[in-house]
Structure 1
Amino acid sequence: MTDGPERTDRRTVLRATAGLAGGTALPALSGCLGGDGNDGTDDPSEDSPPDDGADVDYEIETVAEGFENPWGLAFLPDDGRLLVTERPGRLSLVDPADGTVEGVAGAPEVFAEGQGGLLDVAVHPDYHDDPRVYLTYAAANDAGEAATHVGSGRLALDGGDAPALDEFEPIRVAEPFRDSANHFGSRAAFGPEGALFVTVGDRRDTDFGPDHVSQDRSNELGATLRLTADGDAHPENPFVDNPDAADALYSYGHRNPQAIAVRPETGAVWQCEHGEEDGDEINATERGGNYGWPIASEACRYGTDDPVAPGHDERDDVIAPVHYWPCGSGGFPPSGAVFYDGEAFPEWRGDLLAGTLAAQYLGRFTVDGAGRDATVTERDPLLDDRGWRMRAVAVEPTTGHLYVAVDDGDAPVARIVPA
């Protein structure tokens, strides 16, 4: 990846880390650390709430290996097996009990260039009655231009045959198509009442004026879409009655959101997105909200200290992130997030866990309050001694064990368990 959001780590901070397997504290070089992040207060370190989950001991186990740039993880309900996407276009079914990996037939043809390919995976919330599996992916038109797609098919596991997605078809295309191989966004999650939320990047539009695609509500780029399970615009979306706006929009003004998570306590949809030079954000997404990109940002232009735009607090027509990494901090280029609600690590229950690519660790954030008024505090990083670009994270429903997918050409899916 050569585009800035998946930039090379600037290793600038020497920090002793805690919470590693066995409770051992090791010195580790960790650039782009969230300690330089900001929750919007003058001093994010002042009056931070105590961290009851700081001294949790854990171990890391390899579940399966040999994946090529795995991107998405999703557990089958009450089954124990795990769906894994690989960016070149493969979908696999993994049995965590013994590491068995089976290929799943029927995945779509994808545009596997730049940041494109087969991306996220989600399972219908009523899977037992409706065994649909949803994939997000980049695909091209006849002119070679690409767009973020959402598709679904029914997962067939019966009869002793190899698993397959039957009758897979695209159900939504985030238009317009663009001649770019970057910024597809492409995380998917089911929220309250079965609504499907999908993030779409700005497709690397570098026209940073008010006419930027992320500020143009007539298209579906730089946005969060809220869809029905069939891919239609949700009937309660904010702009369904506006003839000048795309009816699938839920929020807009985003750059490249590569993490989405539904908070169990509130049903609110949160997401993490890449900034330009730093300026990465965690957002509590609101219906109809404008999150500012690129007319408000905490980022700088690549290779400079020049702000892309005024900060969010300098405008009254945008929603500020609940946590961000300002220019000069090193940033937190994110990918994959989940609110932890499992049994294995009760001290982390309610925390937001988010992967970071360049900084190569799994971030843990405590959250106090709700919505845009929430206080988000980053805690000691997890897995920061591995040199792993963290692409995706998931919680196994029965055990509460954490699973992570590592972004590499020959990568593992790993499991975090109590020591």
Structure 2
Amino acid sequence: MGRNGLIGLVAALVLVIAGVGAFIVLRDDNDEPPSDEATNNDSNDSADDSEPSDHDPVIETVAEGFDQPWGLEFLPEGDQLLVTELVGTLAIVDIDSGDVRRIDGVPDVSAEGQGGLLDVAIDPDFPDSSWVYLTYSAATDDGNTSTHLARGQLDLDQATLRDVEELYVAEPATQAPVHYGSKIVFGVDGNLYMTIGDRGDKNFADHVSQDPSNTLGTTVRLRPDGSIPEDNPFIDDGDIADEIYTYGHRNVQGMTVHPLTGVMWQSEHGEEDGDEINIVEGGHNYGWPIAHSGCEYGTDTPIGDHPLDRDEFPNPAFFWECGSGGFPPGGLTFYEGDQFPAWEGNLLVGGLASEQVARFIEEDGELIETEPLLADEGWRIRDIVVSPHDGAIYVAIDDDDVPLIRLVDGTED
């Protein structure tokens, strides 16, 4: 793959040269329904041939029959996996037997366009605290839709959520059924972080993501009960909503916490290309659409200035600029496990229109792209997690009636 990304300074970490996938994308991913299609180029010029893998991944089917799976979250022992489906169902999968149960008590969702039941996370103290957190699109009183956050207590014996309560609703609600963001993680501080998309706003001259009096195009930081922490970065700024942690985002659909540093990373959709991986630090404006490496759809017209030319915004850790073909990203995670010890600490990023999993070596914020995974399967990769139970890599495929699959070590001893 050819290279076209340069890395700047973010969160006091030195970021250097980054690579870029060079595959053909017929339309950008999931930004404007209907779903797009993509074709891969088999070339891999940027792969790190100096790092041979001593473990060959093999694809296994864990369970079948999922409709538009979106979010994956393991329960602590790692042998049971929660799976959200866009249509509004929450499933729990026994990864050893393949048994699938649907959970009752899930809030009603608006499953239209890119909306529906989206991400899932569990309380950091699970199972002592049995809260399960869900993000989803739902109608508001004015008939529009917005990104919602709710939680319920998971009763595994009865396969139901009890005491469900709505914690947060992004404002303002809009008509466009796109760009809900909706990724949620718990930080090392015990607070909940949630991404909210820009809802497809095309007014680049006066964009909603650059107006932090609302929460579109943001990452918000909340306590587990939905209240606002008193140490949020903009809490004393009357012009910025108290819950905002970062703003100036387009549509973040991947977020993870580095297992060693506790630093938060995000994957973000660009317009025509312009997709990014960012290291996230509270209190910053990430520049969309003032600073962006992509172009307006169907053109080679840049949107805003190149991000490396605007010092007031954090530079992406990695980006796919206009003309590269892009890499509309789904979920991302750092690999930790015994299945693939050569990949320990690698960053894995699901690719939707690119139909692959990008694998990066990460050292002190520097990303070096290596051989991708699943590049020959024709699967849009929505989310990716690693089981603490067996170290296998579990993958959600973005389509109807699809299997839940995992990657395991297929090397014979």
Q: TM-score, with normalisation over the residues of structure 2? A: 0.89
Q: Is the 8 A contact 1:10 1:330 kept in 2?
A: no
**4+ long deviations beyond 4 Å:** 4-7, 48-51
Q: Find the counterpart in structure 2 of residue 15 from structure 1.
A: 43
Q: Assess, with a 3 A threshold, how the Cα gap between structure 1 residues 12 and 334 changes in structure 2: closer, same or farther.
A: closer
Q: Find the counterpart in structure 1 of residue 109 from structure 2.
A: 110
Q: Find the counterpart in structure 1 of residue 128 from structure 2.
A: 129
* Among candidates 383, 390, 411, match of residue 381 of structure 2: 390
Q: Assess, with a 3 A threshold, how the Cα gap between structure 1 residues 104 and 51 changes in structure 2: closer, same or farther.
A: farther
- 1: distance between equivalents of 2:68 and 2:353? 15
Q: Find the counterpart in structure 1 of residue 392 from structure 2.
A: 401
Q: Assess, with a 3 A threshold, how the Cα gap between structure 1 residues 387 and 55 changes in structure 2: closer, same or farther.
A: farther
Q: Would you say 1:143 and 2:142 are equivalent positions? A: yes
Q: Would you say 1:163 and 2:191 are equivalent positions? A: no
Q: Is the 8 A contact 2:382 2:397 kept in 1?
A: yes
- 1: distance between equivalents of 2:185 and 2:388? 15
- 1: distance between equivalents of 2:159 and 2:68? 21
- 2: distance between equivalents of 1:349 and 1:107? 35
- Percent of residue pairs bearing the same amino acid type: 50
Aligned length: 382
Q: Is the 8 A contact 1:7 1:358 kept in 2?
A: no
Q: Find the counterpart in structure 2 of residue 100 from structure 1.
A: 99
Q: Would you say 1:276 and 2:267 are equivalent positions? A: no
Q: TM-score, with normalisation over the residues of structure 1? A: 0.88
Q: How does 1:337-376 map to 2 (within 5 A)?
A: 337-369=332-364, 374-376=365-367
Q: Find the counterpart in structure 2 of residue 22 from structure 1.
A: none
Q: Assess, with a 3 A threshold, how the Cα gap between structure 1 residues 205 and 102 changes in structure 2: closer, same or farther.
A: same
Q: Find the counterpart in structure 1 of residue 187 from structure 2.
A: 191
Q: Is the 8 A contact 1:5 1:275 kept in 2?
A: no
Q: CA deviation at 1:5?
A: 8.9
Query: Secondary structure of 1:3's match?
Result: coil
* Among candidates 203, 209, 219, match of residue 214 of structure 2: 219
- 1: distance between equivalents of 2:324 and 2:292? 14
Q: Assess, with a 3 A threshold, how the Cα gap between structure 1 residues 266 and 51 changes in structure 2: closer, same or farther.
A: farther
Q: Which letter maps to 1:407?
A: D
Q: CA deviation at 1:128?
A: 2.1
Give the root-mean-square deviation of aligned CA atoms.
1.8
- 2: distance between equivalents of 1:392 and 1:292? 25
- 1: distance between equivalents of 2:30 and 2:407? 30
* Among candidates 237, 252, 256, match of residue 247 of structure 2: 252
Stretches of structure 2 lacking an aligned partner (at least 5 in a row): 1-28
- 2: distance between equivalents of 1:54 and 1:286? 33
Q: Assess, with a 3 A threshold, how the Cα gap between structure 1 residues 51 and 8 changes in structure 2: closer, same or farther.
A: farther
Q: Would you say 1:81 and 2:80 are equivalent positions? A: yes
- 2: distance between equivalents of 1:279 and 1:152? 33
Q: Which letter maps to 1:108?
A: P
Query: Secondary structure of 1:165's match?
Result: strand
Q: Is the 8 A contact 1:283 1:321 kept in 2?
A: yes
Q: Which moved more, 1:58-67 or 1:136-145?
A: 136-145
Q: CA deviation at 1:213?
A: 1.1
Q: Find the counterpart in structure 1 of residue 24 from structure 2.
A: none
Q: Find the counterpart in structure 1 of residue 22 from structure 2.
A: none
Query: Secondary structure of 2:120's match?
Result: strand
Query: Secondary structure of 1:347's match?
Result: helix
- 2: distance between equivalents of 1:241 and 1:279? 33
- 2: distance between equivalents of 1:265 and 1:120? 24
Q: Find the counterpart in structure 2 of residue 239 from structure 1.
A: 234
- 2: distance between equivalents of 1:114 and 1:93? 25
Q: Is the 8 A contact 1:279 1:299 kept in 2?
A: yes
Q: How does 1:25-104 map to 2 (within 5 A)?
A: 52=51, 54=53, 56-78=55-77, 80-104=79-103
1:88-123 residue CA offsets vs partner (Å, 9 max, x unmatched): 100011111111111100101001000000000001
* Among candidates 266, 284, 294, match of residue 289 of structure 2: 294
Query: Secondary structure of 1:353's match?
Result: strand
- 2: distance between equivalents of 1:6 and 1:397? 36
Q: CA deviation at 1:321?
A: 0.4
Q: Find the counterpart in structure 1 of residue 403 from structure 2.
A: 412
- 1: distance between equivalents of 2:127 and 2:348? 28
Q: Assess, with a 3 A threshold, how the Cα gap between structure 1 residues 51 and 186 changes in structure 2: closer, same or farther.
A: farther
Q: Find the counterpart in structure 1 of residue 151 from structure 2.
A: 152
Query: Secondary structure of 1:416's match?
Result: strand
Query: Secondary structure of 2:105's match?
Result: coil
Q: Which letter maps to 2:189?
A: E
Q: Is the 8 A contact 1:401 1:415 kept in 2?
A: yes
Q: Assess, with a 3 A threshold, how the Cα gap between structure 1 residues 122 and 51 changes in structure 2: closer, same or farther.
A: farther
Q: Which moved more, 1:341-350 or 1:324-333?
A: 341-350
